[in-house]
């Protein structure tokens, strides 16, 4: 893995969280994007090499809605950038980690992503991401 690409934070209300984080960081989000397949609206703030992703549920079935219901707002996942997501997925599966998706899927911010079940990673949801080169 190359670096922490971003940290995902689950929020109840994206518009007000965007304002709050813009004040905190003293800069605005550089991107606001809906990921329909995940049932979320996201925003991204750039802080040096790392980003902060805010996630708001757009429907009750969204993993973010379920997370907030169970645990409240807060840190939802840590995303690590990888060079070759397929290779990393098969390496981690062989190491005994549980992959939540068996093929990389399209994530926010122009990325291919895969999630690891938090039960296999000490309670922290792990996202692998690889930039899609266009």
Q: How far is the CB of 61 from Zn ion (least distance, A)?
A: 18
Instruction: List all residues 6 or more positions away from 18 whose beta carbon is below 8 Å from its beta carbon.
Output: 28, 29, 32, 43, 54
Closest distance of CB 59 from Zn ion, Å: 18
Query: What is the edge-to-edge ordering of all strands in the sheet holding 31-35?
Result: 31-35, 40-47, 50-57, 3-10, 74-81, 125-131, 111-116, 105-107
With 0-12 CB in 10 A as exposed, 13-18 as middle and 19+ as buried, what is 24? exposed
Q: How far is CA 81 from the centre of its chain?
A: 11
| Identified binder of Zn ion from the candidate list 79, 89, 114, 125, rule CB under 5 A | 79
8 binds Zn ion (CB under 5 A): yes
The interface with Zn ion within residues 112-131 (CB under 5 A) comprises 127
Q: How many residues bind Zn ion (CB under 5 A)?
A: 4
Enumerate residues 17-36 that contact Zn ion by CB under 5 A: none
Q: How far is the CB of 53 from Zn ion (least distance, A)?
A: 5
Stretch that binds Zn ion, among 10-18, 29-37, 49-57, 116-124 (CB under 5 A): 49-57
Residues that bind Zn ion (CB under 5 A): 8, 53, 79, 127
């Amino acid at each position: 893995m190359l670096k922490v690409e971003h940290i995902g934070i689950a929020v109840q209300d994206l518009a007000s969280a965007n304002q709050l984080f813009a004040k905190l960081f003293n800069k605005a989000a550089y991107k606001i994007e809906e990921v329909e397949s995940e049932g979320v609206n996201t925003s991204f703030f750039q802080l040096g090499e790392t980003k902060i992703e805010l996630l708001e549920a757009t429907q009750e079935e969204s993993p973010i809605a379920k997370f907030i219901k169970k645990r409240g707002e807060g840190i939802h996942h840590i995303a690590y950038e990888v060079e070759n997501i397929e290779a990393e997925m098969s390496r981690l599966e062989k190491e005994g980690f549980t992959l939540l998706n068996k093929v990389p899927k399209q994530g926010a911010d122009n990325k291919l992503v895969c999630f690891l079940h938090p039960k296999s990673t000490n309670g922290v949801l792990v996202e692998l991401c690889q930039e899609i080169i266009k």
